[in-house]
Amino acid sequence: MKRGLRWVLSSFGVLLLAAVAVWGASRLWGVRADERAALAQMRAGWTPPGRNGFDALWTLDYDVPAARQRAVVDADIRTIGAWPAFGLRSADFRSAATAYPDLKPGAADRGMWCAASKPGCLAMVAADIPAYAGLVARNARLIARADALAGFDHIKLRLPARADMPFPAFANAYAPATRDALLFAQGRRQEALGNVCRGIAGWRRHAAHTDMLIAGMVADALAADGYGGLFADMLAAMPADAPIPGECRVALAEVRPAELSLCEAMKGEFAFADNGMRNLADSPQAPSNEVSPFARRFLFDAEATSAMYARNMAAACGSRFAGMIARDVPLEPPAAERHWRRRFACVANPVGCILADIAAPAYASYSLRRQDFGMKLRLLGTLQWLHENPQPGASLADRLSRRPASLTSPARALEIGEGGRRLYFRRYEASKGGDWSQPLRP
């Protein structure tokens, strides 16, 4: 009996030592060379030239003078920086900007505005010009503030990168479009079209120059779906011989592959994950009901987890993605790792491996959406080219075939739909619907 018990205890001890040895070897396995390179790349800083529009965007809903906007954001940085590492504090957050007059539209005005996601802005405004003249007059200061956003060179996050960070005031950034639709309805068509093209140019610039993924996606939508859709509607309603303002040629200049890269936006997104991993490992305030202290100590490695995140997200900065963007073929995410149970590095880091594996496919749709953004700009540029190059007697198909190569995609064609009344293309990002189309002049 005693001999059997000693054998059981000895066997258990051997197994325990073996398990500890395997765990230790897995922990010492560390970060792979390719992951370490990706980690360095994703943690690299970004110092873009020109003026940062973040402060103006962050304070948009309040009448903060331009000279005070940076100080307001600095105060909010201190407030958010003092929050505990864990806990959803944004619901209770009160920005220093609230000390200034509130510019947000009142309840009666809220449903009247044009929206980038909703077509029919021109018709809606034209149906009740007096009401919209009043709306624009009442909200003139907000519109002027939103208009100024197009004049900045980039949008770089200045707040701490944490999961519960409040979002900037994107909701009212499209306010100038309603004013521009009103100008068009009032007969000031050249002024309206010039304003719209400045909006396209400004938000196109921000889409390409931001370290905030959400800002990049909003900028895509405002530039193409919002101002771009309004441009197409205005062009379709104008006479064939109407001139197009010079701002539109700038706004719809050739799409360069570099502007469709999400590299800096993914670096910014990585910073949120990276900080979250460090806090989960180090903070005494980490949510023990979700990940126990034992698991955080022995089943989680923050640096190795960040490295896996970096490997997945660094694809947006690599030559493979750049080549696919240049050819306009659908971007494919990196090959998935083997299941975490089959990876030796995950023996000592199963929590981190599970988190990284869950997050890996989450960003694929953003890259496809950015490719579709480039195609939207080509379609809008084609509408402008068709307007400026009428070619009497030629069919629409022939005219499309003669447009400059700078307006074409190596992989996707523009199609004629609805009996010659619309141009469209097939999107790569399927969740947004199959086709993206804009009207042609009747």
| DSSP string across 317-360 | GSHHHHHHHHHTPPP-PPPPPPPGGG-GGGSS-HHHHHHHHHHG
Q: State whether 305 and 365 are in the same domain.
A: yes
CB 254 within 8 A of CB 377: no
Q: State whether 19 and 108 are in the same domain.
A: no
Q: State whether 98 and 109 are in the same domain.
A: yes
Range of the domain at 172: 33-380
CB 351 within 8 A of CB 291: yes
pLDDT in tens, 266-310: 999 999 989 888 877 665 555 544 555 655 555 678 888 888 889
Q: State whether 309 and 251 are in the same domain.
A: yes
What integer pLDDT is reported at residue 251 of this predicted model? 98
- Minimal CA–CA distance to 206: which of 339, 74, 48? 48
For residue 160, with 0-12 CB atoms within 10 Å meaning exposed, 13-18 middle and 19 or more buried, which class applies? middle
CB 305 within 8 A of CB 349: yes
pLDDT in tens, 178-193: 999 999 999 999 999 9
pLDDT in tens, 403-413: 999 999 999 99
What integer pLDDT is reported at residue 341 of this predicted model? 46
Please give the order of strands across the beta sheet that includes 422-426.
415-417, 422-426, 435-439
What integer pLDDT is reported at residue 363 of this predicted model? 83
Of 325, 359, 380, the domain-final residue: 380
The helix-helix angle for 364-388 and 229-237 (nearest 10°) equals 20
Put simply, whether the predicted model's pTM sits higher than 0.95 gets the answer: no
Of 348, 380, 412, the domain-final residue: 380
What integer pLDDT is reported at residue 278 of this predicted model? 81
Q: How many CA atoms lie within 13 A of 353 on its CB side?
A: 20
d(CA 109, CA 104): 10
- Minimal CA–CA distance to 350: which of 291, 310, 273? 291
- Please check whether residue 433 lies inside any domain of the structure: no
What integer pLDDT is reported at residue 3 of this predicted model? 56
Cα diameter, the chain: 104
d(CA 72, CA 84): 21
- Minimal CA–CA distance to 397: which of 381, 379, 415, 384? 415
- Please check whether residue 184 lies inside any domain of the structure: yes
Residue 370 Cα distances to 41, 85, 204, 330, 376, angstroms: 21, 32, 11, 11, 10
Tokens of 334: 């990196």
Q: State whether 118 and 13 are in the same domain.
A: no
Domain count along the chain: 2
Q: State whether 63 and 15 are in the same domain.
A: no
CB 360 within 8 A of CB 211: no
Neighbours of 68 (CB within 10 A): 15
Q: State whether 269 and 295 are in the same domain.
A: yes
Q: Sign (positive/negative) of CA torsion 240, 245, 251, 253?
A: positive
Q: State whether 256 and 348 are in the same domain.
A: yes
d(CA 34, CA 174): 42
Q: State whether 319 and 225 are in the same domain.
A: yes
Low-confidence residues of the chain, pLDDT below 70? Answer: 1-31, 86-91, 281-299, 334-345, 347-348
The CA R_g of the chain, rounded to the nearest whole Å, is 27
Q: State whether 211 and 262 are in the same domain.
A: yes
